[in-house]
Structure 1
Amino acid sequence: MAATNVLRSEWTKIRSVTSTLWTLSLAFAVSLALGALISIVTRNSFDDMPARDQFSFDATFTSFAGMGLGQLAMIVFGVLVVSSEYSTGMIRTSLAAVPQRATLLFSKVAVATALAFLIGFVTSFGAFFLGQALLGDHSVSIDEPGVLRAVFGAGIYMGLIAMFSMGIAAMLRSPLLSLGILMPFFFIISNVLGNVDATRKVGQYLPDQAGSRVMQVVTPPDDTAPYGPWGGLGIMVLWVVAALLGGYAVLRRRDA
C-alpha cells in the first residue's frame, strides 16, 4: 500500500475514535483553565511574595502552569493512538493490509504527531495570551526577549510528550500498562528525582525535566542544569527518538 494511502488510513482511524480527539480537547481546556486560575492567584498575591520570588518571577512560565496537567491528556492521546489497536485486535488487520511494519508505525506516528503539535501550539499561544491578560501589571509582551521562544517551545514540548508516549505504547502494546508506567513516571518519579538534592543531577536529564526548560524565560536561582532551553529540548528529542526506535524494534520482532 502506498505511503499516502497509509497516512489517509491512519487519519481515518484517529478521527473515527472519539476518545482520542476528546483527549486533545481536554489538553487544551485543562491547560488554559488551570493556567488562568494560577495567573489570577499570582496577580492577587504578588505583593505578598518574598522579594526573592518577585525578582525571579517568570510571567511567561506562570501562564503555562496548567500545561503540567494538560500533558496528562497528551500522554493518554499518545498511548491510545498506538495501543488501542492491540487491545481491540485490529492490529492484525492493519498488519495484513500494511505488511511493511515501519510504514505502518511511522505513518501512525506522523498523523498523530501533526495533531499533537497543532493542539500543542494552539494551547501554548492560548495559555500565554490568556495568562498575560489575567496577570495585569505583572504581564509581559510576546516580543520581549525569550518570550516567543518559550511560547513556541511550550507547543513543541506538548507534541514531544505525545510522541514519547507513542513510542512507549508501541513497546508495551497495552494501554493500561503504558499509562500505569507513564503517569507515575511523569507525575511522581520525575518530580522526586528532579527536586531531591541527591538525585537532581540525574533527574535533570529526564525528558520532562529537560524539555520544560524551553518554556522558561527567567532561570530560577537554584537551577544548576548544565544546558540551556534548546539544549534541554534537544535532550527530550533524544528520549523521543529512543522511545520510537524501541517501539519499532518491538513491532518488527514480535507477532501482533
Structure 2
Amino acid sequence: MASFPAVLQSEWTKVRSVRSTVWTLAITFVVTLGVGALLSLLTNNNFDSFRGNSESPFDATGTSFSGILLGELAIIVFGVLAVGNEYSSGMIRVSLAAVPQRVTLLAGKAVVLGALALLVSLVTAFTTFFVGQSLLGTHSTTLSEPHVLRAVFGAALYLTMLCLFSAGVTAMLHNQTLALGVLVPFFFLLSPILSAVPKVKTLAHYFPDYAGSRMLLVYEQHGQPYGPWPGFLICLAWTCAALAGGALVLRKRDA
C-alpha cells in the first residue's frame, strides 16, 4: 500500500514532467494579466465614453479581471490534461498498479492539482489586480476598500475550483478529448446562451461558471439572484460533485 505522501510526490513528478501542463498554467497567467491590463488601460483612456450615463458604481476590480474568461479556458485545459494524459498514454495502468487504492490515487491528484492551481491563481489574481489598478489611474481602487480583497481571493478560488471540476469530469470520462469536447462548449457556448434565455436562465444561474463569477463581485448588482458567498458554495458543490463522480467511476470501471 503506497503512503499518501508518496502518492503526492508521484503526482507532483507527473505534473511537472509534462510540458503541456506547465504551459497551460503559464498561459493562464499571461492571458488573464495581458487582457486585463489592456482593458484597464483602454478604460482609463476612454473612461467617459465607456461609462456613458451609467449611475452604477465603477468596478475597478472587475475591470482589471476582464481577461479572466480566457484564463478560465487555460485552467480548464490544465485540469483536463493533468488527468487525461495518463489515460491517453496508457500510464494510468502503471499508476493503478503502483497505487491500487484508486480513491487515494485520485485524492493525491486532486491535492497536487488544487495546490498548484491555487498557487498560480493567487499569483495571477494579485498581479492582475495591481497591474490593472496602476493602469486605471485616478479610477483605481485599493485592497483596503470594502470587498476588494475578498474579490481578488475569489478570483483565485474560482480558477482553482474550475481546475478541479475539470479534473473530476475528466476522471469520469476517462478521455481528455471527450472531456474538452464537453467542458469547452458547456462553459463557453451553452452556459452563456442559456443565461440569456428568459425561460431557462434561472437554471443557468446555478451553473458553476456563473456561480463562481459572483465571487469576483465588489458591488452586488440589482436583480442578481445571489451574491459572492452563495456563489462560492454553489461552485464548491459542483467541484466536490465532479471529484466524487470521478472517484466513483474510477472505482467501478477498468482503466
Q: What secondary structure, in the 3-state scheme, does the structure 2 residue paired with 1:140 have?
A: coil
CA contact (8 A) 1:210 1:232 kept: yes
Which residue in the other structure is 2:76 paired with? Answer: 75
CA contact (8 A) 2:220 2:227 kept: no
Which residue in the other structure is 1:51 paired with? Answer: 53
Which residue in the other structure is 1:29 paired with? Answer: 30
Which residue in the other structure is 1:133 paired with? Answer: 134
Letter in 2 for 1:194: S
Distance 2:246 2:218 in 1: 34
Which residue in the other structure is 2:172 paired with? Answer: 171
Q: What secondary structure, in the 3-state scheme, does the structure 1 residue paired with 2:134 have?
A: helix
Letter in 2 for 1:235: I
Distance 2:149 2:127 in 1: 13
Letter in 1 for 2:151: A
Which residue in the other structure is 1:65 paired with? Answer: 66
More moved, 232-241 vs 195-204: 195-204
| CA displacement, residues 54-76 of structure 1 (integer Å, 9 cap, x when unaligned) | 53321101111111111111001
TM-aligned CA deviation for residue 203 of structure 1: 1.1
Distance 2:131 2:249 in 1: 42
CA contact (8 A) 2:114 2:164 kept: yes
Distance 1:211 1:4 in 2: 31
Structure 2: state its 5+ residue gaps. Answer: none
Distance 1:19 1:45 in 2: 38
Q: What secondary structure, in the 3-state scheme, does the structure 1 residue paired with 2:46 have?
A: helix
Which residue in the other structure is 1:207 paired with? Answer: 208
Matches within 5 A, 1:104-143: 104-143=105-144
Q: What secondary structure, in the 3-state scheme, does the structure 2 residue paired with 1:182 have?
A: helix
Matches within 5 A, 1:185-196: 185-196=186-197
Q: What secondary structure, in the 3-state scheme, does the structure 2 residue paired with 1:219 have?
A: coil
User: Percentage identity across aligned positions?
Assistant: 53
TM-aligned CA deviation for residue 120 of structure 1: 0.7
Is 1:224 aligned with 2:237?
Answer: no
Distance 1:159 1:25 in 2: 14
| Cα RMSD for the two superposed structures | 1.0
Letter in 1 for 2:224: T
Is 1:234 aligned with 2:233?
Answer: yes
Which residue in the other structure is 2:152 paired with? Answer: 151
Distance 1:31 1:195 in 2: 25
Which residue in the other structure is 1:253 paired with? Answer: 252
CA contact (8 A) 1:84 1:175 kept: yes
* Number of corresponding residues: 253
Distance 1:230 1:154 in 2: 13
CA contact (8 A) 1:150 1:216 kept: yes
Q: What secondary structure, in the 3-state scheme, does the structure 1 residue paired with 2:66 have?
A: coil
CA contact (8 A) 1:56 1:219 kept: no
Letter in 2 for 1:40: L
Structure 1: state its 5+ residue gaps. Answer: none
TM-aligned CA deviation for residue 197 of structure 1: 2.3
Letter in 2 for 1:108: K
Distance 2:37 2:250 in 1: 42
Which residue in the other structure is 1:94 paired with? Answer: 95
Letter in 2 for 1:205: Y
TM-score (norm: length of structure 1): 0.96
CA contact (8 A) 1:56 1:220 kept: no
TM-score (norm: length of structure 2): 0.97
TM-aligned CA deviation for residue 191 of structure 1: 1.0
CA contact (8 A) 2:80 2:170 kept: yes
Is 1:244 aligned with 2:222?
Answer: no
TM-aligned CA deviation for residue 196 of structure 1: 2.7
CA contact (8 A) 2:148 2:218 kept: yes
Distance 1:58 1:126 in 2: 17
TM-aligned CA deviation for residue 137 of structure 1: 1.1
Distance 2:235 2:12 in 1: 26
Distance 1:91 1:153 in 2: 33
